[in-house]
Amino acid sequence: QSPDPLITELQPWAQGFGDGVDATPYGLPIEFEGDVIRRNVEWLTADTVSSINFTPIHALDGTITPQGCAFERHHSGAIELRKEDYRLMLNGLVDTPLVFSYADLERFPRENHVYFCECAANTGMEWAGAQLNGAQFTHGMIHNMEYTGVPLRTLLEEAGLDMAGDLSDKWVYVEGADASSNGRSIPMEKALDDCLIAFKANGEALRKEHGYPVRLVVPGWEGNMWVKWIRRIEVTDGPIESREETSKYTDVLENGIARKWTWAMDAKSVVTSPSPQAPITHGKGPLVITGLAWSGRGAITRVDVSKDGGMTWESARLAKPGEKMALTRFYLDTDWDGSEMMLQSRAMDDTGYIQPTKTQLREVRGLNSIYHNNCIQTWLVRSNGEAENVEVS
């Protein structure tokens, strides 16, 4: 082996200057990471204004999703709403209907929490068979951020809930300020439990595409309920049964009957690398197999990985103990002998739930559910290191 010129020769970056501190007042990733971006699947929807894109989970590590590449879902486009023009109304069965400005919200005691937000349709294109070739496309309708905001409970109590009487059968209806409004009904129990009126994510203001200046956070529940640009919260004595909770986000079973109010996202995991967009490029030897696991009903307690399509499993290492309703990173540090692998991961949460196989899901739900597909994913990794999305027996 000859000496490496990158070491033996003086390199330009070691000789002259780099950028000064005022070159990028707000930085983007370095150009060499330019392919780590959200992507759209054009044939999925009629128009990008009412569509979804996908987080490049195959290229990320750790658990926090940078806002700039966290998936977007809009029903009428991402609007630009200034903090000064922002109003939040609480009305309905409250003692005093109130209007808050953005500045008002910042004066309530606030909290910080890390939560994942997963679209109920994540992995939805895979019900009938292996279709999209990449973890970004099969599992990228998810992001995980640290939110700063005011508990919804605090605002509801500020408006007063005496008038609502028995709260056990009450609901809140929430809607956004954009043209779609994306109204959803949420049971009062959840509204008072852990919902957050959030205005910061990962330490900075929400991005436009995630609801700037204020969005709702509904931990563990399907992303459609996390209303962006939230403008109104109405206490009601029943669900509104809006378009987004009847015609959409309901799950048709094999007999044609549909489940509704399937809010919680069940435990799920996926190997993010190696995967079709993240092939093995280094040949046999030490290999880090890694992925993400999450549960909308609790904390991840264990993730098992199989290299042979589910015949044998070994438990992966969690980067840190699972946190409730947040992404958990797992690693399997292994030695690859260069032979073909059928890679799978299987998550368990603290309710004792085990992530099901596709076959198990289909036995209960058939093929037409669209939403809530949390099946075990298989990547066929060939001896040349390339990977493909497959289904196995």
Strand partners, 148: 112, 200
Chain centroid to Cα 319, Å, comes to 19
Which candidate, 124, 117, 137, places its Cα nearest to that of 41? 137
Q: Is residue 339 at the binding interface for another protein, with CB under 8 A as the rule?
A: no
Q: Beta strands 230-236 and 87-92: pairing type?
A: parallel
- Contact pattern for another protein over residues 349 through 368, marking x by CB under 8 A: --xxxxxx---x---x--xx
| Residues in 264-323 at the binding interface with another protein, rule: CB under 8 A | 264, 266, 276-277, 304, 308-314
Which candidate, 208, 203, 207, 242, places its Cα nearest to that of 225? 242
Which candidate, 339, 315, 74, 113, places its Cα nearest to that of 211? 74
CB 89 → another protein: shortest distance, Å?
5
Q: Which is nearer to another protein, 202 or 369 (CB)?
A: 369
CB 146 → another protein: shortest distance, Å?
24
List the one residue from 41, 79, 114, 167 that touches another protein (CB under 8 A). Answer: 41
Q: Which is nearer to another protein, 219 or 356 (CB)?
A: 356
Q: Is residue 243 at the binding interface for another protein, with CB under 8 A as the rule?
A: yes
Q: Is residue 252 at the binding interface for another protein, with CB under 8 A as the rule?
A: yes
Number of residues in contact with another protein under rule CB under 8 A: 96
Q: Is residue 148 at the binding interface for another protein, with CB under 8 A as the rule?
A: no
Q: How far is CA 93 from CA 156, 158, 288, in A?
A: 10, 13, 54
CB 374 → another protein: shortest distance, Å?
10
List the one residue from 50, 112, 339, 384 that touches another protein (CB under 8 A). Answer: 50
Q: Which is nearer to another protein, 233 or 287 (CB)?
A: 233
- What is the number of alpha carbons within 13 Å of residue 360 lying toward its C-beta? 8
Q: Is residue 383 at the binding interface for another protein, with CB under 8 A as the rule?
A: no
| Residues in 56-115 at the binding interface with another protein, rule: CB under 8 A | 75-76, 89-92, 96-101, 104, 107-108
CB 79 → another protein: shortest distance, Å?
11
Given a contact cutoff of 8 angstroms between Cβ atoms, the answer to whether 265 and 222 are in contact is yes
List the one residue from 1, 24, 168, 393 that touches another protein (CB under 8 A). Answer: 393
Q: Within 10 Å of residue 107's Cβ, how many Cβ atoms? A: 10
List the one residue from 61, 167, 236, 334 that touches another protein (CB under 8 A). Answer: 236
Place of tokens 């309901």: 250
CB 61 → another protein: shortest distance, Å?
20
Give DSSP secondary structure letters for 261-309.
---BPPPEEEEEESBTTB---S-SEEEEEEEEEE-TTS-EEEEEEESBS
Given a contact cutoff of 8 angstroms between Cβ atoms, the answer to whether 95 and 162 are in contact is yes
Q: Report the distance separating Cα 100 and Cα 217, nearest Å.
A: 18
